[in-house]
Each structure stands twice: as C-alpha cells, then as structure tokens.
Amino acid sequence: MNNSDLAQILIRAVEEADSSDRLLDAVQELAAASIEESVPTLIAALGYNNPGAAVAAVDGLIAIGEAAVPSLLELIDDYNYSARAWAIRALAGIGDVRALDTLLEAAKNDFSLSVRRAAARGLGTLRWHQLPAEKVESVQIQVLEALLLICQDPEWVVRYAAVTSLETLAITIATTLPDQALRITNQLQQMLDTDTDLGVRTRVKFAQQKIQQQQHQEVFAPKRKLEDTEVSEIPHRGAGRR
C-alpha cells in the first residue's frame, strides 16, 4: 500500500469516528503516519473540541513541518478561538518564518489569551536561517519590539510565554546584537522586580539563569557559534518526508 492509499484509509477513519475515544485514536494514527495529504484533516481536527485529538493533530502537523504551513496559514479558523490556538501552536512548533506576520498579529491583538500565549511562544522559536542573511537582524529586532510589548499583556500566561521567547531570543542574538540582548536582560530584571504574578517572576528567574549559563559558555567555549551555523544547515524536519 502506498502512502496515498494509507492516507485515505486513515482520513476516512477520522471522518467516520463516532465517539470521542475513536476520534482520538483515529487522529493519533493519522498524525503518526505523517503524510502530507492529511494536513487538511489534521487541521480540521483542531476544531473538534476534543483536546486529546487536538494535541495529536498538532504533533502530526509539526512532524509534517514546512509542508503544512501554507494550509495552516490559509485554513486558520477566525471564528473558533480554541481551534485557532491549536493552529498557532502548530505554526509555533514548526517555526517557519512564513508564519511571522500571523504570529505577530496574533500575539499582540488576538482577543483569546490562549491564542496570544501560543503566538508569543512561537515568536521565540522561529527558524532564523530561513530568512535571507541581510534580513535576519531587522526581523529579530521587530520580534524583540513585539515581545517587549507583549510583556505588558494583562494575562499572566501570555507574559509567561513572552518570557520564554525573550530567553531564546537573548541567547540567539547575544553575540550578533549585544545591545538588543541587553534590552532583553533589562526587561527581564524589570519584570522580576515588578511583575505581580509569582509564576511569571519564577519563569523570569529561570530565563536569567539560562541566559547566564549561555554567556558562561560563550566565554569558555568560543567554538559554539560555529556549531550553531553547522546545525542550521542540516535540513530540518519535514523536508525529507516527501
């Protein structure tokens, strides 16, 4: 049986599932097969109000990777915030820079806190190497500005997510944009001093530790930057699956 036949069988199983348990199993199987044709069905599964199925579908979409991005951007559900949050999570997990504008808009302006949270997280996990080299720094600064704004979000979980992204961004730009990295460490210190939420302050402390560890490594292992460049040239997940 080729992939296409398998996909059809698995997709039908999802469509015909008549209980939430069967739906969960069917989506898990479809997701595990990681076949590009299943993308629309997996995206539809984000809207079934079945959190288990949605988790499986997100994992499946992330495994398919870049090939799922255009459909995700196109089919994102403007009317169902729960489905939208899962779709944003999938985009965040894939990290494709084509999702940048969608993530920026969602993180700053979506009315749903779960969408803002997922988008804020996604801004820290972008695959910078997909961008033309001359654009990387300006986009990183654009993302940084957005994250500094998102740190003012009224919901703790959105600020928490923004902190995780500030952490990864600070580490990414530590040597290339040291002045901008300093803005991040200042922001984190300010949040540690003033944020009203203990969970957020705790995450800030953890971020500070990670950033310090990395600075430590920079000093004692200057080869690290070279390794980063090499890593970025390995084809990422998804590309080899077609």
Partner 1 sequence: MNSSPQKFEDLSPTGNSGDGESLTVEQAIANLESADLGLRFYAAWWLGRFRICEAAAVTGLIKALEDEADRTPEGGYPLRRNAARALGKLGDRQAVSPLITCLDCSDFYVREAAAQSLEMLGDPICIPALSELLKVGLQGEQLISKQPDLSQPYEAILEALGALMATECIPLVKPFLEHPIELVQYAAARAMYQLTQEPVYGERLVKALAGDKLQLRRAVLADLGAIGYLKAADAITETLAENSLKLISLKGLLEHQVNHTATNTLSAGAIKVINLMDSLL
Interface residues with partner 1 (CB under 8 A) are: 24, 51-52, 55, 81-82, 85, 89, 92, 111-114, 117-118, 120-121, 154-157, 160-161, 164, 198-199, 202-203, 205-206, 209
CB of 109 to partner 1, least distance (A): 8
CA distance 91 to 174: 25
CB of 161 to partner 1, least distance (A): 5
CB of 70 to partner 1, least distance (A): 24
Which is nearer to partner 1, 3 or 20 (by Cβ)?
Answer: 20
Which is nearer to partner 1, 8 or 81 (by Cβ)?
Answer: 81
Other CB atoms within 10 Å distance of the CB of residue 186: 11
Which is nearer to partner 1, 98 or 108 (by Cβ)?
Answer: 108
Nearest to 84 by CA among 64, 59, 113, 62: 113
Return all residues near 26 (Cβ < 8 A) that are at least 6 apart. Answer: 10, 13, 14, 17
CA distance 171 to 214: 7
Tokens of 221: 């292992």
Which is nearer to partner 1, 45 or 55 (by Cβ)?
Answer: 55
Which is nearer to partner 1, 5 or 78 (by Cβ)?
Answer: 78
CB of 108 to partner 1, least distance (A): 10
Return all residues near 114 (Cβ < 8 A) that are at least 6 apart. Answer: 81, 82, 85, 157
Cα 49 to the center of its chain, rounded Å: 21
CB of 129 to partner 1, least distance (A): 22
Region at 66 (left for phi over 0; alpha for psi -120 to 50; beta for the rest): alpha
